[in-house]
Structure 1
C-alpha cells in the first residue's frame, strides 16, 4: 500500500500557533472565554505565545481547577463564549456539537465551515488509503442528534457517492441504565439496536458499516456476519479495540475487508487509524490530524511527553478559527508511537496507540454501547 503523494495534513507550525492566538486573544474581536481566562490568570498570551512550546507553557490547561473551570463553562454558558467575535461577525454555519455525556452533563463545542471542509478532505484521504470503496451505501450505527459523528458519516457517504442509512443510539440513556443497575433495560435497548440493524441489512444494499467499537465487538454474536454479505469495509469509532478483536474482525469474520478506526470527540475533532500493516500486530494506531488537532501523550505528574513506546494520558490541542482547545486532559490513556511503515514519511509527527478509558476497563463505569 502506497501513501498518497499529496496530503491534506501537515505538521503544526509556529505560524499556525501565532495565527490562532492572534485570532482568539484579539482584545476587541477575540474569544470571550479565553480573554477572560487570560485576564484572570495574567497569562498575557498575545505577547508571550510565539511558538508551540510557548503555547504549551502559557496556554495549556492544568489538570485541576483550571480544566474544571473550562469544562463547567462549556456545559453551562452560551456557546458563543468560545467563538471569536470576528468569526461570529462574519456569519456562516457553525455546527453546535455536544459530547456524549458519559462524564457528566454534555459539553458543547463548534465545528465551523472551514474546519468541517478540512475534516472531510483528510477523511477522504484516509478512507481511500485504507481501501474503503466509493459509490456504495453506508449504514451508520451510532449516536446521531448533537454528537457530530452521525453528521460526519452522512457527509462521508454522500461525498463518496452513496446514501447513508442509520440506526440511532442514545448513549446518555445507556449511561443511566448502567448507573442505576437497570440490567434488563440495558439488554432490551441493545437488542432494540440489533433488531433495527437486521431490518436495514435485510432490505438495503450496504457496502460500508460504521459502528461504535463496542457494538462492533458484539456484532458476530448478536447479528452474525452473514447478515452483511455485501459489506466491503468496516469503520469503527469509540475508544478501545483489543488486538484480538481487531484480528478476528479482519481474519475470521470479514476476511479481506478493511477495518478502519476513527478516534476523537464531538468537540475537538477526529483522527484516523494509520494504514494497516503486519508490523501493527493488530494494535490500533492513530495519526493525529495536524495542523487541526494534536494529541500529546503525557506523564500525569509532570505534564511532559512520555518517551516513545510508553503509556500516558491523552492531552488534546485544537487550533482552528472557530475554537481553541489548549491541551485538554482527556480521561483516556494511550501509547506514544514513533511513526513507522508506509505512512511515516507522510505523517512524521508522533502517533497514538491503543487508547482506552480506565474508568471503563477497570470497571468503574458501564461502557454500554460506546
Structure 2
C-alpha cells in the first residue's frame, strides 16, 4: 500500500472514514517495519495469521487475540509506532484503574487526543454545554487519561479548568481491606475540596463521578451552589441508574444539563451519551466509530447477543496511535444498535461483572 493511502489515519474528528479502509490502512501502519511499534512487530511473529494479507476489514479484527493483559508489563516505549519518529509528541503514559490486578499501560500521542477531544466537544455542543465556561473536574488525574481529557476539554471547550485530585486505587484498597469508614472519610475530603472551589469560583461545567455527585447532592449548601452556578454536569467512571439520573434532572439539579460518558484508559477514549434518550430509560453510549467501537457479546462464546439483551462489552481501538482489538472489558451492557452509518454496537445499562480475571471487582468512587 502506498504511503498516500495512509492519509485516512489522519482525517479530522468530524470525517467519516470507511471502517474497512481504516482497518486496512491501520494494518499497514502497525505491521510495517518502518512505522509499526516494536510491540506489534514482535507480536506479529506469534500470530497464526498475517495482518497485512488476512485482515481485510472491520469484521476481521476478530482474528486478533485479546492482548490487553500483556499491557501490564510491556515497556511503554515499545508501544509507540515508529512512524511517529524519534521524538514523538506524546501527551502521556496512562494506566488503567487497577481494579482487576496490576494496571495496564498505554501511550497517548498528541494527535490522537486532539482528535478525541474534538469529537467529544462536538458531543457537548449537541447536549447544550455552554462554551467558554470555567470547569471543575472531580476525577482521577496522574496516570489516568480521564484527567488529561478533562484538562484538554476545559481548555478547548471552556476557559479555565479547576481540578480536585482523586485516587481511586486507594479507595478500592480501603474497601477491599474492610476499611469502609476510611474510604468514606477520603470521599468526604474530596468533596470538601470541591466545595471550596464551588464557593469561590464561577464554575459553569462540572465533571464528576456518580458516587461523588451523590455526596454533593446530600449537602444542601452544595446543591444550592450547583444550582446557582453550574449549567452542565458531565458524569462518568461508574454507572448511574435511570431513576437517579431522572431525579437529578427533575428535582435536584433541574437547570443543569446532565451528560454521561463511558470509556476505558486502554482504548484511549470514551463513548458519549446519546442525545434524546427518553427519561427513565438506561443511558445509551455511542462510540467514536470507527476508531473506537464496542461489541456486546456472550462472554463464553464471543458471539453477539441479540439487541436488547445483556452481554459483556468488547472494545476495539483502531487508529494511527494505537491498535488494540478484542479487549474484553469488566462491564456488561445491553446491546443497542449503533447510529446509522457506524460500525459496532452502542451500549446501555452499563454494570460491572462481579469477578474479572479471577479478581473481585470493586468500583468505589470511580
| TM-score, scaled to structure 1 | 0.88
Q: In the aligned structure 1, how far is the partner of 2:341 from the partner of 2:54? A: 31
The 8 Å contact of residues 285 and 354 in structure 1, kept in 2 or not, is answered as yes
Return the structure number with greater relative CO, CA threshold 8 A, min gap 6.
1
2:350 maps to 1:355: yes
Secondary structure of 1:270's match? strand
Where does the alignment leave 5 or more consecutive residues of structure 2 unmatched?
1-11
Secondary structure of 2:102's match? coil
Cα deviation code 1:162-219 (max 9, x no counterpart): 1111111001111111111112211210111111111111111111111012212332
Where does the alignment leave 5 or more consecutive residues of structure 1 unmatched?
1-5, 62-66
Secondary structure of 2:183's match? helix
User: Would the alpha carbon gap of residues 333 and 170 (structure 1) be closer, same or farther in structure 2, given more than 3 Å must change?
Assistant: same
Alpha-carbon offset, residue 274 of structure 1: 0.6
Pairs within 5 Å for 1:116-195: 116-195=113-192
2:39 — aligned with what? Answer: 33
User: Would the alpha carbon gap of residues 283 and 108 (structure 1) be closer, same or farther in structure 2, given more than 3 Å must change?
Assistant: same
The 8 Å contact of residues 264 and 270 in structure 1, kept in 2 or not, is answered as yes
2:270 — aligned with what? Answer: 270
2:79 maps to 1:82: yes
User: Would the alpha carbon gap of residues 12 and 215 (structure 1) be closer, same or farther in structure 2, given more than 3 Å must change?
Assistant: farther
Q: In the aligned structure 2, how far is the partner of 1:19 from the partner of 1:150? A: 30
The 8 Å contact of residues 96 and 264 in structure 2, kept in 1 or not, is answered as yes
Q: In the aligned structure 1, how far is the partner of 2:283 from the partner of 2:218? A: 22
Which deviates the most, 154-163 or 242-251?
A: 154-163
Pairwise CA RMSD of aligned residues? 2.2
User: Across the two proteins, how many residue pairs are aligned to each other?
Assistant: 349
Secondary structure of 1:334's match? strand
Which deviates the most, 154-163 or 309-318?
A: 154-163
Q: In the aligned structure 2, how far is the partner of 1:289 from the partner of 1:111? A: 16
Cα deviation code 1:222-244 (max 9, x no counterpart): 46411322110000011311011
| TM-score, scaled to structure 2 | 0.89
The 8 Å contact of residues 140 and 166 in structure 1, kept in 2 or not, is answered as yes
1:3 — aligned with what? Answer: none
2:328 — aligned with what? Answer: 329
